[in-house]
Structure 1
Amino acid sequence: MRTDANLQDGILSVRLSGDLIGSPDSQQLLQTVDQHLGDEAVKLCSVDLSNVRYVNSSGIGVLVSLLTKFRSRGGELVLINPAEHPRKMLALTKLTSIFTIADDEAAASSLLKNAN
């Protein structure tokens, strides 16, 4: 899995590609986010799942962990355009009622700014 993260306008934008399966890559994702969470001003996050081919239960756990990290500090996390398999997994686990899902980065940014 590949992870790209950047901080802009107070929103941590994370783009993932490949498989989100709880491997060492997932730990790298959590560490990357934790580095940005060292800044108290970072409370909003978008995670682009459009290039994630496959998600297993460990990958779902990583997404829930990220959501918990942001909500516990009074922030929010939005998933962007999950590909077919991740979208099915979120629906199967009933997490579509927990996560906010946006169609694109602009919609996610708008949702996050309105949530804060």
Structure 2
Amino acid sequence: MKYQTELKDNLLFVRLEGDLVAGKDTQQMIEEVDGLQNRKLLLCAIDLSNVRFMDSSGMGVLVSLLTKFRNRGGELVLIKPSDHIRKLLIVTKLNAIFTIAENDEFAAQFLQESIY
């Protein structure tokens, strides 16, 4: 899995590409997000549009990140999961705990409104 992080107006955008499974890259991404969270960053959007496959460990990563942000009074949204990933979220009922945005603009708007 490849990933990129981008900060825009106190929002963290994490763009994932490839397969979201346990591995070195996934752990590195979690550590980077944790480091940014320690700087009082409360809002995160994870772009899943280029994720082809996700297993249970990938789902665990998403739930873990969501929990970390919410425990600090923040929020996390998922951006445009592929059809395959969207079906996994529905089957596992994770779609009930995640907000899903169709683009960066909706994600940013939702996140900004979520803390006020």
- The answer to whether the superposition gives a TM-score over 0.5 is yes
What's the offset of the Cα at 1:18? Answer: 0.3
Does 2:102 correspond to 1:113? no
What's the offset of the Cα at 1:4? Answer: 0.2
User: Who is 1:28 aligned against?
Assistant: 28
Aligned-partner Cα distance in 2 for 1:47–1:37: 14
User: Who is 1:37 aligned against?
Assistant: 37
Q: Which amino acid aligns with 1:12?
A: L
What's the offset of the Cα at 1:86? Answer: 1.2
Alignment TM-score, normalising by the size of structure 2: 0.96
Q: What is the RMSD computed on CA atoms of the aligned residues?
A: 0.7
Equivalent positions of 1:1-116 (< 5 A) are 1-40=1-40, 42-116=41-115
**Unmatched runs of 5 consecutive residues or more in structure 1:** none
- Alignment coverage as a number of residue pairs: 115
What's the offset of the Cα at 1:38? Answer: 1.6
Greater mean deviation of Cα atoms: 70-79 or 85-94:
85-94
User: What's the secondary structure of 1:74's corresponding residue?
Assistant: coil
Runs of 4+ displaced beyond 6 Å: none
Give the % identical residues: 52
Aligned-partner Cα distance in 1 for 2:104–2:66: 17
